[in-house]
């Protein structure tokens, strides 16, 4: 099957299945999901027929040889291909950038928290329907991400399994107390912010050492937003688990990542989203445009070198910088 058609089939399979999974109450009947093909993620080929046996909210059998319990109801999905849900390691499920940069900035201060939460529940649904069943949320205000995660876990709203962080050095323990799963920090400036340079470091080596040490002591993974090489290197030396974006990483940074096993999450869709925003957006300041262009141009070079050097690469899309539900375009 041509690759594009395969991808479309995989996504269609998931999209068909998800509402079924979500609607299952804890003590639901036994279900068998049957389709023409199955990709289990462990083998590199498809198997047929695709069978997934579900007991309540647990999958108890997968593959052509899965035992079918007596009395199970079969849902035949025809030609669809079943596959495991995708994971997005870098999303912002609590907001979505629009074509009006100024309004977006204003909303960060003025939008009511309940409104933000209600809108976010639409984004979590769209993301799940796009085939993503697990998302790490790397940046939200007012602990809306924690509330979303809790509401999804309780079955109150529909969405992917969420891992939520937040971050500044002194806040590691506070975030842990409020239930963060991941600690995210900003080791360098950003693209969509107005006043900081995109590639300069924003934390000292000692601060990053303390942050990672504290987070790891609490059993939490860490992620560093880093466009510039110097900030990234400090984070990598501190033992950070992933570098987000990594636009201007130099060879030394990539070598350090390879040595430490640090994962690069390049968020290529963020650049696609920003490109589209620049084309449509009349209020985006010139300073932001210049940063976006520089980071976008550097990242394609960095990606090539990272792949050549064998740096571990994770899939994360920066969803929210573009419209939620378009996550699969990162592939």
The residues of the shown chain that bind Zn ion, judged by CB under 5 A, are: 318
Nearer residue to Zn ion within complex by CB, 176 or 318: 318
Q: Which of 226, 174, 235 is nearest to 204 (CA)?
A: 235
Least distance (Å) from Zn ion to the CB of residue 319?
9
Nearer residue to Zn ion within complex by CB, 83 or 270: 270
Nearer residue to Zn ion within complex by CB, 149 or 184: 184
Nearer residue to Zn ion within complex by CB, 137 or 176: 137
Least distance (Å) from Zn ion to the CB of residue 139?
6
Least distance (Å) from Zn ion to the CB of residue 199?
16
Least distance (Å) from Zn ion to the CB of residue 25?
35
Least distance (Å) from Zn ion to the CB of residue 186?
10
Token pair of 269 as six digits: 């869709």
Nearer residue to Zn ion within complex by CB, 207 or 318: 318
Please give the residue whose beta carbon sits closest to Zn ion in the complex: 318
Burial pattern 3-22, b for ≥16 Cβ within 10 A else e, equals: eeeeeebbbbbbebbbeebe
Taking 3-state DSSP, the helix, strand and coil percentages for the chain, each rounded to the nearest 5, stand at 40, 20, 40
Q: Would you say 249 and 255 are in contact if contact means Cβ atoms under 8 Å apart?
A: no
Token pair of 174 as six digits: 């506070």
Least distance (Å) from Zn ion to the CB of residue 270?
7
Cα–Cα distance measured from residue 98 to residue 104, given in angstroms and rounded to the nearest whole number = 7
**Alpha-helical runs (H) found in 154-246:** 172-177, 205-217, 229-238
Nearer residue to Zn ion within complex by CB, 77 or 140: 140
Nearer residue to Zn ion within complex by CB, 225 or 234: 225
Specify the residue for token string 């939200």: 140
Q: Would you say 263 and 312 are in contact if contact means Cβ atoms under 8 Å apart?
A: yes
Least distance (Å) from Zn ion to the CB of residue 318?
4
Q: How far is CA 148 from CA 51, 54, 97, 120, 207, in A?
A: 32, 25, 19, 8, 30
Nearer residue to Zn ion within complex by CB, 104 or 318: 318
Longest dimension (CA), the chain: 66
Cα–Cα distance measured from residue 303 to residue 296, given in angstroms and rounded to the nearest whole number = 11
Q: Would you say 128 and 18 are in contact if contact means Cβ atoms under 8 Å apart?
A: yes
Token pair of 213 as six digits: 């040490």
Q: Angle, to 10 degrees, between the axis of helix 144-153 and the axis of helix 113-129?
A: 50
Least distance (Å) from Zn ion to the CB of residue 300?
19
Least distance (Å) from Zn ion to the CB of residue 94?
11
Nearer residue to Zn ion within complex by CB, 116 or 318: 318
């Amino acid at each position: 099957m041509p690759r594009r058609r395969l991808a479309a089939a995989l996504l269609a399979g998931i999209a068909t299945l998800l509402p079924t999974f979500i609607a299952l109450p804890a003590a639901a009947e036994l279900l068998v999901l049957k389709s023409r093909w199955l990709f289990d993620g462990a083998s590199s080929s498809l198997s047929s027929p695709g069978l997934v046996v579900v007991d309540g909210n647990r999958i108890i059998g997968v593959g052509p040889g899965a035992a079918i319990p007596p009395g199970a109801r079969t849902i035949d999905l025809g030609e669809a291909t079943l596959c495991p849900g995708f994971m997005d390691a870098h999303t912002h499920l609590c907001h979505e950038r629009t074509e009006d940069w100024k309004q977006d900035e204003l909303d960060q201060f003025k939008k009511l928290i309940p409104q933000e939460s209600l809108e976010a529940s639409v984004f979590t649904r769209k993301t799940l329907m796009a085939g993503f069943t697990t998302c790490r949320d790397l940046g939200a205000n007012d602990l809306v991400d924690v509330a979303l995660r809790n509401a999804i876990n309780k079955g109150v709203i529909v969405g992917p399994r969420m891992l939520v962080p937040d971050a500044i050095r002194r806040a590691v323990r506070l975030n842990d107390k409020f239930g963060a799963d991941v600690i995210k920090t900003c080791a360098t400036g950003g693209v969509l912010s107005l006043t900081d340079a995109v590639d300069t470091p924003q934390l000292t080596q000692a601060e990053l050492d303390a942050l990672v040490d504290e987070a790891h002591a609490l059993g939490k993974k860490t992620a560093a937003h880093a466009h510039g090489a110097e900030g990234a290197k400090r984070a990598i030396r501190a033992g950070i688990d992933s570098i987000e974006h990594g636009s201007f990483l130099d060879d030394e940074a990539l070598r350090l990542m390879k040595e430490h096993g640090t994962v690069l999450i390049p968020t290529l869709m963020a650049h696609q989203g920003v490109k589209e925003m620049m084309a449509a957006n009349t209020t985006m300041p010139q300073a932001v445009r210049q940063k976006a262009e520089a980071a976008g141009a550097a990242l394609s070079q960095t990606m090539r070198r990272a792949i050549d050097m064998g740096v571990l690469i994770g899939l994360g899309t920066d969803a929210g910088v573009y419209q939620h539900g378009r996550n699969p375009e990162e592939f």
